[in-house]
């Protein structure tokens, strides 16, 4: 980080709309917690252990940052080119793996359970990002990024179109919930879970789409597909939602004006930007009160205390 992060208020925190001022703290600045990854992704907070896990996809590892000491260690290698992570409602780690083209759960004893690796008998592409709903269902995106080359996985043939899937929390049944998003990537629910947001990363320009969610037993139906955010020159990737419904989106395209985190209202209005010296891929909220934003950027991990809280489980 540059010296600007040592100043209060931090000039890298940019107010684009007055509504953003209530979400930021005058005496909090962006902190660089680690440097040394090739491509950071998928941060997930473990409050019970006071640590954060995140992926370094090309280096085929999951890293662990300890809140009490600041130490960074390797949590798992090989990670099967793990990308996105979340926790289920029992606190277990849920992971998207590019190399094995599957979604897994790490049990309390460290063993790994495969939750899904196929749909209708065909292998997934490369599960990318994942979230868990309050009913225990697991939702994940499945673009082809991990099988397009040998950098974040291995080049392989695609057997399924790029879609978004749901794993039922009780039966484990896998259903396809969205096949009309170009290159589905990051995803998150609104605070009341009535809306699912999905990044359309193969749209030109990129967009964030919203769907109304209707769950009927073991089935979920998405409707009213609409564009909430037109990213223009930006590149939304992963994101999370705060308790007010605002979207905190990994953002950037290699310029000082774009790299970092862009914040939007639930209606898609840009209200703030957190500038980083590199493109940010994904974020999560953590800390004791879920008011610390962790940002997985290209080569590092950053954080910022904010005056809001992430949605529980997000």
In tens digits, what is the pLDDT along the chain, a chain of 314 residues? 444 467 899 999 999 999 999 999 999 999 999 999 999 999 999 999 999 999 999 999 999 999 999 999 999 999 999 999 999 999 999 999 999 999 999 999 999 999 999 999 999 999 999 999 999 999 999 999 999 999 999 999 999 999 999 999 999 999 999 999 999 999 999 999 999 999 999 999 999 999 999 988 778 999 999 999 999 999 999 999 999 999 999 999 888 899 999 999 999 999 999 999 999 999 999 999 999 999 999 999 999 999 999 998 66
What's the confidence (pLDDT) of residue 76?
A: 98
- Tell me whether residue 237 is annotated as binding: yes
Alpha helices in 200-260 (DSSP H): none
Q: In a 3-state reduction of DSSP, which class is residue 3?
A: helix
In angstroms, rounded to a whole number, what is the distance separating the alpha carbons of residues 292 and 95?
Answer: 22
> What 8-state DSSP symbol labels residue 259?
S
In angstroms, rounded to a whole number, what is the distance separating the alpha carbons of residues 36 and 147?
Answer: 24
- Tell me whether residue 185 is annotated as binding: yes
State how far the alpha carbon of 260 is from the alpha carbons of 251, 256, 297, in Å: 5, 9, 8
Q: Please, what CATH class does the domain formed by 80-232 belong to?
A: mainly beta
- Tell me whether residue 157 is annotated as binding: no
State how far the alpha carbon of 144 is from the alpha carbons of 153, 161, 299, in Å: 10, 9, 22
Identify whether 237 is a catalytic site residue. Answer: yes
| Options 142, 237, 242, 259, the catalytic residue | 237
In angstroms, rounded to a whole number, what is the distance separating the alpha carbons of residues 110 and 265?
Answer: 39
Contact 295, 37 (CB under 8 A): no
- Tell me whether residue 83 is annotated as binding: no
Task: For the chain, give every residue range classified as CATH 2.120.10.30.
Answer: 80-232
């Amino acid at each position: 980080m540059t010296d600007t992060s040592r100043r209060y208020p931090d000039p890298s925190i940019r107010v684009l709309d007055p509504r953003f001022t209530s979400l930021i703290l005058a005496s909090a600045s962006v902190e660089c917690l680690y440097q040394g990854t090739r491509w950071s992704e998928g941060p997930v907070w473990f409050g019970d252990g006071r640590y954060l896990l995140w992926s370094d996809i090309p280096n085929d590892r999951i890293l662990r940052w300890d809140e009490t000491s600041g130490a960074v260690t390797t949590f798992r290698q090989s990670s099967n080119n793990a990308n996105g992570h979340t926790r289920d409602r029992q606190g277990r780690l849920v992971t998207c793996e590019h190399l094995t083209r599957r979604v897994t759960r790490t049990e309390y004893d460290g063993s790994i359970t495969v939750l899904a690796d196929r749909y209708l008998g065909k292998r997934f592409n490369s599960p990318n990002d994942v979230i868990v709903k309050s009913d225990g269902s697991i939702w994940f995106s499945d673009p082809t990024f991990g099988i397009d080359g040998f950098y974040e996985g291995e080049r392989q043939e695609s057997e399924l179109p790029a879609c978004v899937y749901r794993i039922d929390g009780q039966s484990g049944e896998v259903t396809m919930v969205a096949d009309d998003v170009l290159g589905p990537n990051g995803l998150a629910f609104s605070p009341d879970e009535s809306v699912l947001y999905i990044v359309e990363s193969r749209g030109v320009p990129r967009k964030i789409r919203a769907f109304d969610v209707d769950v009927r037993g073991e089935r979920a139906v998405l409707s009213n597909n609409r564009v909430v955010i037109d990213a223009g020159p930006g590149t939304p990737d992963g994101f999370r939602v705060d308790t007010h419904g605002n979207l905190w989106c990994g953002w950037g395209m290699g310029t000082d004006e774009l790299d970092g985190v862009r914040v939007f209202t639930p209606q898609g209005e840009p209200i703030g930007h957190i500038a980083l010296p590199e493109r940010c891929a994904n974020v999560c909220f953590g800390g004791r009160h879920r008011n610390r934003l962790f940002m997985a950027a290209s080569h590092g991990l950053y954080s910022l205390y904010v005056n809001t809280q992430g949605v529980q489980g997000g």
